[in-house]
Amino acid sequence: MERKYVLVINPGSTSTKVAIYDGDVEIKTHKIQHKEDELAKYDSILDQYEYRLNLILNWLDKENIKLCSLKAVVGRGGLLRPIPGGTYLVTDKMIEDLRLGVGGEHAANLGGILARGIADRENISSYIVDPVSVDEFEEVARISGLNLIERKSLIHALNIKAVSHRRAEELNKNLEELNLIVAHLGGGISVAPVRRGRMIDVNNASEMGPFSPERTGSLPVGDLVKMCYSGNYTYEDMKKKIKGKGGLMSYLDTIDAREVEKRIESGDEYAKLIFDAMIYQIGKEIGAASAVLKGEVDNIILTGGLACSKYLVERLTEMVSFIGPVIVYPGEDEMGALNKGVLRVINGEEKPKIYENEVIR
Ligand SMILES: Nc1ncnc2c1ncn2[C@@H]1O[C@H](COP(=O)(O)OP(=O)(O)OP(=O)(O)O)[C@@H](O)[C@H]1O
Ligand SMILES: CCCC(=O)O
| Beta strands 179-185; 87-89: pairing state | unpaired
Helical spans, DSSP H, in the chain: 36-39, 49-62, 92-100, 109-122, 157-170, 221-228, 235-242, 248-252, 257-265, 269-292, 310-320, 334-346, 355-358
CB of residue 308 inside a 6 A radius of ligand 1: yes
Whether residues 191 and 286 share a domain: the answer is yes
How many angstroms separate the Cα of 24 from the Cα of each of 5, 48, 73, 168, 339?
Answer: 10, 30, 14, 19, 7
Q: What is the pLDDT of residue 13?
A: 81
Q: What is the pLDDT of residue 35?
A: 86
Whether residues 322 and 344 share a domain: the answer is no
Whether residues 327 and 339 share a domain: the answer is no
Residue pair 166/183 in contact (Cβ under 8 Å)? The answer is no
Q: What is the pLDDT of residue 205?
A: 87
Closest CA to 85 of 333, 285, 341: 341
Cα of 205 vs centre of ligand 2, distance in Å, is 6
Cα of 154 vs centre of ligand 2, distance in Å, is 7
CB-CB neighbours of 268 under 10 Å: 15
Residue 145, in any domain of the structure? no
Q: Which residue range is the domain that position 309 belongs to?
A: 159-331
Q: What is the pLDDT of residue 206?
A: 85
Q: What is the pLDDT of residue 39?
A: 87
Residue 148, in any domain of the structure? no
Give 10-residue mean pLDDT values along the chain (361 residues): 92 92 97 88 94 98 97 96 96 96 91 98 98 96 97 95 96 97 96 98 94 96 98 96 94 95 98 98 98 98 97 98 98 96 95 96 76
Q: What is the pLDDT of residue 311?
A: 98
Whether residues 166 and 43 share a domain: the answer is no
Q: Which atom of ligand 2 is nearest to the CA of 215?
A: 5
Whether residues 163 and 310 share a domain: the answer is yes
Residue 153, in any domain of the structure? no
ipTM, 2 dp:
0.97
| Beta strands 25-33; 15-22: pairing state | antiparallel
Q: What is the pLDDT of residue 352?
A: 97
Residue 277, in any domain of the structure? yes
**Ligand 2 surroundings by CB, under 6 angstroms:** 132, 154-156, 188, 205-206
CATH of the domain at 205: 3.30.420.40
Whether residues 343 and 309 share a domain: the answer is no
> How far is the C-alpha of 217 from the C-alpha of 195, rounded, in Å?
23
Number of domains in the chain: 2
> How far is the C-alpha of 278 from the C-alpha of 283, rounded, in Å?
9
Q: How many CA atoms lie within 13 A of 345 on its CB side?
A: 23
Q: Which atom of ligand 1 is nearest to the CA of 304?
A: 18
Whether residues 198 and 321 share a domain: the answer is yes
Q: What is the pLDDT of residue 37?
A: 86
> How far is the C-alpha of 203 from the C-alpha of 218, rounded, in Å?
9
> How far is the C-alpha of 289 from the C-alpha of 286, rounded, in Å?
5
Q: What is the pLDDT of residue 1?
A: 72
Residue 327, in any domain of the structure? yes
Cα of 10 vs centre of ligand 1, distance in Å, is 16
Cα of 130 vs centre of ligand 2, distance in Å, is 12
| Beta strands 179-185; 125-129: pairing state | unpaired
> How far is the C-alpha of 115 from the C-alpha of 88, rounded, in Å?
12
Cα of 183 vs centre of ligand 1, distance in Å, is 13
The pTM (predicted TM-score) of the whole model is 0.93
Cα of 330 vs centre of ligand 1, distance in Å, is 9
Q: Which atom of ligand 1 is nearest to the CA of 306?
A: 12
Whether residues 300 and 341 share a domain: the answer is no
Q: Which atom of ligand 1 is nearest to the CA of 255?
A: 29
Interhelix angle 109-122/49-62, nearest 10 degrees? 50
Classify 45 as helix, strand or coil.
coil
Which ligand approaches the C-alpha of residue 255 most closely?
1
CB of residue 339 inside a 6 A radius of ligand 1: no
